[in-house]
Copies of this chain bind each other. A is one copy, B any other.
Amino acid sequence: MKYSKIPEVTIMRLSAYSRVLNEALDRGEKIISSKGIANLTGVSPDQVRKDFAYFGEFGVRGIGYNIVELKYNISKIIGTDRNWRVAIVGLGHLGGSLVSYPGFLTRGFKMVGIFDVKDIGEKYGDLYVEHIDDFEEIAKREKFDLGIIVVPREAAQGVADVMVKSGVKAILNFAPVMLDVPVGVELKNVDLSMFLEMLSYYMSLNN
Question: Which A residues are closer than 8 A to B by beta carbons?
Answer: 1-2, 4, 6, 8-9, 11-12, 14-16, 18-20, 40-42, 77-80, 84, 86, 92-94, 96-98, 100-104, 107-109, 145-146, 169-172, 176, 178, 184, 186-206
Determine whether the beta carbon of B170 is less than 8 Å from that of A203: yes
Chain B: minimal CB distance from A65 (Å): 18
What are 10 A-B contacts with C-beta separation under 8 Å? A4-B201, A15-B198, A20-B178, A77-B201, A79-B201, A79-B204, A103-B176, A103-B192, A172-B195, A172-B196
Q: Which chain B residues border A108 with CB–CB below 8 Å? A: 200
A4 to B94, CA, bound (A): 33
- Report how many copies the assembly holds: 2
Determine whether the beta carbon of A178 is less than 8 Å from that of B41: yes
Given contacts A19-B176, A178-B41, contact A107 B203 (CB under 8 A): no
> Which 4 interchain pairs have the tightest Cβ spacing?
A79-B204, A93-B97, A103-B193, A170-B199
Q: Which chain B residues border A197 with CB–CB below 8 Å? A: 11, 14-15, 18, 78-80, 107
Q: Which chain B residues border A178 with CB–CB below 8 Å? A: 20, 40-42
Determine whether the beta carbon of A193 is less than 8 Å from that of B109: yes
Q: Which chain B residues border A204 with CB–CB below 8 Å? A: 77-79
| Closest chain B residue to A177, Cβ basis | B23
A204 to B186, CA, bound (A): 11
